A and B are shown apart, each in its own frame.
Chain A
Amino acid sequence: GIQVEQSPPDLILQEGANSTLRCNFSDSVNNLQWFHQNPWGQLINLFYIPSGTKQNGRLSATTVATERYSLLYISSSQTTDSGVYFCAVVRRGGSEKLVFGKGTKLTVNP
């Protein structure tokens, strides 16, 4: 099946810093979503971005489908950004299931 690799696995920042999270995937995809999982386990949708670039406030994402990677940018980080960030994809031509990476655990210190 399709492989999804996220890096780095852990990231510690001071409040106000910027960061880039990466997601590599091993096959063509129809769907790519970024999620933020808060400490209570809720998966919050950040972006639906199978290709192109999107921005939402301090967050932006870029997916280069031809090169099979996606980047999530967080600017001016806040303590509330802490949590685990997941990338998930649906393989083109495969079953309609989201395949998740192992996540990047982000800690933002005050």
Chain B
Amino acid sequence: DAGVTQSPTHLIKTRGQQVTLRCSPKSGHDTVSWYQQALGQGPQFIFQYYEEEERQRGNFPDRFSGHQFPNYSSELNVNALLLGDSALYLCASSLKRGVLETQYFGPGTRLLVL
């Protein structure tokens, strides 16, 4: 049973560029959430996708956008990268049954913006 997978594992970009991160949920899961973890902090919720639509959004600017595909996989896009976007980006998957489900996290993508 494959867990949550993310790609790439590491990425280096320069300010102003755009980046796309990818996530495949755990088998049987249909909901994907994205989190940003800055160094020394806990993860912060970016947004959640279910049935190919953004269902919840945290306090992140419109430069952060996403997509969910029919196979439940998801992408996170960040435009006009800033130095402060350097972080570990984590994807979590769960089965949409309200809030009573365990969320499982992928290994993350480390993004460095120079």
Known interface pairs A86-B42, A101-B42; A40-B104 also in contact (CB < 8 Å) = no
Nearest CB in chain A to that of B42: its residue: A100
Query: Measured between C-beta atoms, what is the minimum distance from B82 to chain A in Å?
Result: 21
Q: Which of B95-114 contact A (CB under 8 A)?
A: 98-105, 107-108, 110
Contact A98 B45 (CB under 8 A): yes
Among A41, A43, A48, A100, the one with the most B-chain Cβ atoms within 10 Å of its Cβ is: A43
Question: Which A60-110 residues have a C-beta within 8 angstroms of B?
Answer: 86, 88, 90, 92, 95-103
Q: Judge whether B45 and A97 touch: CB under 8 Å.
A: yes
Q: Contact at B56–A95, with CB atoms within 8 Å?
A: yes
Q: Are B43 and A100 in contact (CB-based, < 8 A)?
A: yes
Interface membership of A7, Cβ < 8 A:
no
| A88 CA / B99 CA spacing, docked (Å) | 13
Is there an interface contact between B33 and A97, defined as CB atoms closer than 8 Å?
yes
Q: Among residues 20 to 59 in chain A, which have CB atoms less than 8 Å away from a CB atom of chain B?
A: 30-31, 33, 35, 40-43, 45, 48, 50
In the complex, which of the residues A50, A92, A95, A98 contacts B92, with contact meaning CB atoms closer than 8 Å? A98
Tally of A interface residues using CB under 8 Å: 25
User: DSSP class of B's interface residues: helix, strand, loop or mixed?
Assistant: strand
Cα–Cα distance between A100 and B58 once the two chains are bound (Å): 13
Q: Are B103 and A98 in contact (CB under 8 A)?
A: yes
Residues of B with C-beta under 8 A to A99: 45
- Cα A100 to Cα B43 in complex, Å, equals 6
Q: With A50-B100, A86-B43, A97-B33 given, can you name 6 additional A-B contacts, CB distance below 8 Å?
A: A31-B101, A42-B105, A43-B108, A97-B48, A97-B56, A103-B42
**Chain B contact residues, CB within 8 Å of chain A:** 33, 35, 37, 41-45, 48, 55-56, 58, 88, 90, 92, 98-105, 107-108, 110
8 sample A-B contacts, Cβ–Cβ < 8 Å, listed by A number:
A30-B99, A35-B105, A40-B107, A41-B88, A45-B104, A45-B105, A97-B33, A99-B45
